[in-house]
Amino acid sequence: MENKVEFKKRREFGEIISDTFLFIKQNFKPLMTAVLYLCGLFLIAGLISSIMAQLQIVGAMEGIKRGTINSPFAMLYNFSLGYLFVIIFMVCSYTSFYVTVLSYISIYIQKGNVAPTVDEVWAYYKFYFFRVMGSGILMTAFLIVCFILCLVPGIWVFPAVSLFYPIMVIENAGLGYSFNRCFKLVADEWWITAATMIVIGIIAAACSYVIQVPAMIIAMASAFTHVEQPITKTYAIVTSLAQQLSQVFMVIPIIGTTFIYFNLVERKENTGLLSRIESLGQTAAPENSTPEEY
């Protein structure tokens, strides 16, 4: 029988990456089922809004060519309205992925490395969705400000900010506690944390590009066959579809970051080791046992 992946343990650089894909392999069906049920609606809404926004660009280019559109303000209004929905559903989709995967992992650990059901994940999902969304908007704004002020502060805080979400869900923590704790965990471990996150991010990006290759091929073919209008309706639809499907690979950096979080916790606090020591000598109750009734 294959040993289930244990989160609460120290890991080296290579182990974090290999265990990330091992966990996905062992939990592929239940994890993807939870992602499909809880994130599918936002993916579909994002796909529809993205296609509509892309088609607006195609229509505007055709209108400019025919001379029916001559007001830049009208074009700006149409584009801003279309992409507003794209941004809204993108935020909802990203939040949904983070909450679903982190809730799945949290329940997986609590059940003793057993895959949770969709209903169990849904119970956590309802509780954390708006908490993670609101906190995520604030943390994203904080990260953007750090990059705007100077590139170095943004690079320095990025690994810590990435740990913010696992802390909030796994430890059921608030905004202030999660913010302070993520920087404490990264302290003295910045280089290895940043390097691991970069490698995992590159792998996830490479996987997503595989799906987007057809859209790139269509874009190049469109540029050669429609010189006067390089963006066609077919290109708009295929590009939008590829972008939405590639979001599935977000599970890779989310799971990888969670392994990094537990690795840092074990190096600083040894919580997993202490819990295993405490469990020595304790006999687990039979799986189908029921308490005696008197």
Q: Is residue 223 part of a domain?
A: yes
Report the pLDDT value the prediction gives residue 292, as an integer from 0 to 100. Answer: 37
Contact of 244 with 208, CB cutoff 8 Å: no
Q: Is residue 283 part of a domain?
A: no
Report the pLDDT value the prediction gives residue 133, as an integer from 0 to 100. Answer: 94
Q: Calculate the alpha carbon distances from 58 to 53, 138, 148, 222, 231 in Å.
A: 9, 34, 33, 13, 6
Distance CA 39, CA 46 (A): 11
Contact of 260 with 193, CB cutoff 8 Å: yes
Tokens of 274: 């202490």
Alpha helices in 150-232 (DSSP H): 151-170, 175-186, 190-225
Report the pLDDT value the prediction gives residue 62, as an integer from 0 to 100. Answer: 64
If one counts the domains in the chain, the total is: 1
Terminal-residue alpha carbon distance, the chain: 38
Q: Calculate the alpha carbon distances from 77 to 56, 71, 150 in Å.
A: 11, 10, 32
Tokens of 86: 């794209």
Q: Is residue 6 part of a domain?
A: no
Query: Of 25, 157, 49, 31, whose CA–CA distance to 97 is shortest?
Result: 31
Report the pLDDT value the prediction gives residue 244, as an integer from 0 to 100. Answer: 85
Contact of 25 with 83, CB cutoff 8 Å: no
Q: How far is CA 34 from the centre of its chain?
A: 14
Report the pLDDT value the prediction gives residue 229, as an integer from 0 to 100. Answer: 57
Residue range of the domain that includes 44: 14-276
- Give, for all 294 residues of the chain, the pLDDT tens digit: 568 899 988 988 889 999 999 999 999 999 999 999 999 999 999 888 888 887 777 666 666 666 655 555 555 656 666 778 888 999 999 999 999 999 999 999 999 999 999 999 999 999 999 999 999 999 989 888 888 876 666 788 888 999 999 999 999 999 999 999 999 999 888 888 999 999 999 999 998 888 878 777 776 776 666 655 556 677 777 778 888 888 899 999 999 999 999 999 998 877 655 555 555 555 444 444 433 333
Q: Is residue 282 part of a domain?
A: no
Rg (CA), the chain: 23
CB atoms within 10 A of CB 191: 10
Q: Is residue 190 part of a domain?
A: yes
- Class of residue 63 by CB neighbours under 10 A (exposed 0-12, middle 13-18, buried 19+): middle
> How big is the chain, counted in residues?
294
DSSP state of 247: G
At 291, which amino acid appears?
P
Report the pLDDT value the prediction gives residue 210, as an integer from 0 to 100. Answer: 83
Q: Calculate the alpha carbon distances from 275 to 9, 137, 147, 269, 272 in Å.
A: 11, 35, 40, 11, 5
Report the pLDDT value the prediction gives residue 152, as an integer from 0 to 100. Answer: 67
